[in-house]
Chains A and B, each alone.
Chain A
Amino acid sequence: MGKAVRIIQYLRIAAGTGLAFVLFGLGGLFLNLLTLLIGLIPNSFPEKREQNIQKIVHYSFRAFYWYLKVFRLINGKCKGLERLPSTAYIFVANHPTLLDIVLILAILPRAICVVKPKIMSSIYMGEVARTAGYISNEDGEKLIDACVKKLNQGTPIIIFPEGTRSLPQTLRLFKRSAAWIALKSDFPIVPAVLSITAPILMKDWKWYHVPPHSMEMLVDIHEPIILEKVLNNPKYDTVSARKLTSHLQQFFESKVIFNDIGSNGK
């Protein structure tokens, strides 16, 4: 490829990514405003309101993903959608880039995320996150109880067990929240392995650190984990939570594909 073509390619992707940030910010502000307005309408069914906001988030992220695809910034693929249980579930995924949640929320019609406390108070996402029923990971015990309650109401939960974005060439040590929730609630863990072909928006990366070509992102949804197959006698206790988390970590480490990321674009 000629140098000029490479420069044009870079500029296209950098400009597209920059515009994506602007759209994300404006879209977030608009959604926050919309959520505030919806909150003014008297409603005696808060669960219904949560579900409506979850749907709005889903369609907004689908629209945002459409932008990313049309501008050839991301080409997303999803495998194993048919494996999602008909009941609520704990969707556990690795977190290679800031953009993976866009694809996940565009795929899952109704789900809530476990998020950092600063997202709950963010001017861009806070109102939406709170009204949609998202759960802060600030307090371990409250987090487990809140997730179990949501699962019992039929709402799937998305958890990134690394707690933050993955490292370029390896996974971080998994936290045990997903295991505690599964052991307490008896709802299935659905492992979703995310792989990207080029690095973009990893932890501490600037928006203009973009790959020289479009990125492919694969969301590979695997069979739900049956606790009895992993643990002899699954119980809500420390030993079971540690064994289940260790199983999850090994499972993801055996499935994630690291495509020589970490050097390109930055």
Chain B
Amino acid sequence: MNKEEILYKVEDVIVDLLAIDRALIKPETMLFEDLDFDSIDAIELILQLEEKYDEKISADKLKSARTIQDVVDCLYELLRAREEEVIAK
């Protein structure tokens, strides 16, 4: 899975979560400043991403994410690590 595909899915989740127009968000959109996230929103985001990817996502790993692109990068690393693990087995 490439980063564009992940970005699309993350945007899907955020559009659902906040009930906003997709046009309002971009990769550089700041979660806390632009989208007024609070800590519970961040947890809701993680839960929905976990559901979408059927993958446990550590809240600590996403804690440092400030923008949507940061979330995408973090997910990309996570999924790549999983793929490498599967190949190694």
Contact = CB atoms under 8 A, between A and B. Distances in A.
B64 interface: no
Contact of B39 (A141, A237, A239, A242): A141
Interface in A130-183: 139-141, 144, 175-176, 180
B49 to A, nearest CB: 14
Report whether over half of chain A's contact residues are helix, strand or loop; otherwise say mixed: helix
Contacts of A176: 38, 40
Contacts of B18: 238-239, 242
B81 interface: no
Contacts of B43: 140-141
A239 B40 CA distance: 12
A141 B40 contact: yes
* Chain B interface extent, by class: 10 to 19
A219 B11 CA distance: 44
Report whether over half of chain B's contact residues are helix, strand or loop; otherwise say mixed: helix
Contacts of A241: 40
B87 interface: no
A175 B38 contact: yes
A140 B39 CA distance: 6
B28 interface: no
A161 B40 CA distance: 15
Interface of A: 139-141, 144, 175-176, 180, 237-239, 241-242
